Amino acid sequence: MANISDSYTFNNGVVVKNRLAVAPMTHWSSDENGHATEDELNFIRPRAHGFGLFIAAATAVNPQAVGFKGEPSAMRDDDIEHLKKIADTIHSSGALAILQLHHSGKDRQANANNPTEVVAPSRDTAKQAREMTASEITQTIADFGGATRRAMAAGFDGVEIHGANNYLLQQFLSAHHNHRTDEFGGSLENRLRFPLAVVDSVQSACKDNPQFVIGYRLTPEEKHEQGLTMSDSLALVEALAQRKLQYIHISLQNFYNKARRNADTNRSRMDLFYEKLQGKNVALIGVGKLNTPQKAIDALNTGWTDFVAIGMGVLANPDFGERVASNNNQGMRKMPDLSRNAAFNQMPEAMFNQFLGFVPKPVLAVIRVTGKVKRLFGK
């Protein structure tokens, strides 16, 4: 069984110093060109300390891909010098820098301010999305390759293909979202075609650099009747392993969640993926509510994963990575402190405002007063 402080050597020889990854987190804070701001770099810098891998926020591969206001861009060559700031910041804190490559498809946030049409594998009137044309599909596949080339030029150690969280790649894989009648829709083989073509495009963009790490993030199941099941996702994982990716990252709300359908529902999804990858020399990353050092250690000790990724834990506790070294679980927050401001939480204003936006105003007023009273009494 691995210790959290053990190094890991990917199948391409790249060594990661420990088993901890910062999960990709959108921050709504790049400028209007998708270029890194000081706010964004200040968010990354403390949080990368103590982590082996830092997976940077979802980053758009072309104009249609943008799903958030302030989303970083890797769609143009003049993005490279700005992406370099992100890679350098991560490196200055001692982690390997991975850029997450993203296309939102029809799952665009309402305030994304993106003037392009919404596109998806199939028309979806509720999301005002139209079906992607064959040439848009070809172009988008190429754009993932272009973004990979830029990530490499910017000094990133690798890319993570965002195939999770309902975005474009998942929309293609899911029979619930994909009703195409061409070679990209219908059978599982056809629904796998687009995500796997993206993988091939990314691999071909870095074929002269075998040390460049490629990961793929996926969401294993959907609740809809025609939605993804474990058997779809296990087939995807098998195909990714054949392509000798360095890692597969399973996006879960809770690391311990059990399979829903088409697999042994008494077993956790992570356990089933780990079993599938036995002997295939592809690393697995697990994530979901591992918001203290002890929970991260316990998850690794299940033996179902090679790495644990941390989202909210490190968002709310920027010193998370350093805490793991001494297993210091004292006084940790589950959420940013909403009774204080963005600067107190070492977060960009726009990101902090997203959290405030989830809380009804009267509740926020109570949180602020309670926070003040607690501080007054030194609690």
Contact set with ligand FMN (CB under 6 A)? 23-26, 57-58, 100, 162, 164-165, 217, 251, 287-291, 310-313, 315
Q: How far is the CB of 311 from ligand FMN (least distance, A)?
A: 3
25 vs 197, beta carbon nearer ligand FMN: 25
Q: Using H for helix, E for strand and C for coil, what is the string for the chain?
A: CCCCCCCEECCCCCEECCCEEECCCCCCCCCCCCCCCHHHHHHHHHHHCCCCEEEEEEEECCHHHCCCCCCCECCCHHHHHHHHHHHHHHHHCCCEEEEEEECCCCCCCCCCCCCCCEEECCCEHHHCEEECCHHHHHHHHHHHHHHHHHHHHCCCCEEEEEECCCCHHHHHHCCCCCCCCCCCCCCHHHHHHHHHHHHHHHHHHCCCCCCCEEEEEECCCCCCCCCCCHHHHHHHHHHHHHCCCCEEEECCCCCCCECCCCCCCCCEHHHHHHHHHCCCCCEEEEECCCCCHHHHHHHHHCCCCCEEEECHHHHHCCCHHHHHHCCCCCCCCCCCCCCCCCCCCCCCHHHHHHHHHHCCHHHHHHHHHHHHHHHHCCC
35 vs 130, beta carbon nearer ligand FMN: 35
Using CA atoms, how far residue 74 sits from 33, 97, 137, 341, in Å, is: 10, 15, 18, 30
Q: How far is the CB of 243 from ligand FMN (least distance, A)?
A: 20
180 vs 289, beta carbon nearer ligand FMN: 289
Residue nearest to ligand FMN (CB): 311
182 vs 349, beta carbon nearer ligand FMN: 349
Q: How far is the CB of 83 from ligand FMN (least distance, A)?
A: 15
164 vs 263, beta carbon nearer ligand FMN: 164
Using CA atoms, how far residue 259 sits from 201, 262, 267, 320, in Å, is: 31, 8, 6, 29
Amino acid at 94: G
Q: How far is the CB of 1 from ligand FMN (least distance, A)?
A: 22
Q: How far is the CB of 204 from ligand FMN (least distance, A)?
A: 23
Taking alpha carbons only, the member of 108, 89, 109 closest to residue 99 is 89
Q: How far is the CB of 312 from ligand FMN (least distance, A)?
A: 4
Q: How far is the CB of 307 from ligand FMN (least distance, A)?
A: 13
185 vs 311, beta carbon nearer ligand FMN: 311
Taking alpha carbons only, the member of 83, 218, 103, 47 closest to residue 157 is 83
30 vs 185, beta carbon nearer ligand FMN: 30
193 vs 217, beta carbon nearer ligand FMN: 217
Q: How far is the CB of 54 from ligand FMN (least distance, A)?
A: 12
Taking alpha carbons only, the member of 98, 309, 101 closest to residue 212 is 98
Q: How far is the CB of 68 from ligand FMN (least distance, A)?
A: 8
180 vs 268, beta carbon nearer ligand FMN: 268
90 vs 180, beta carbon nearer ligand FMN: 90
Q: How far is the CB of 82 from ligand FMN (least distance, A)?
A: 17
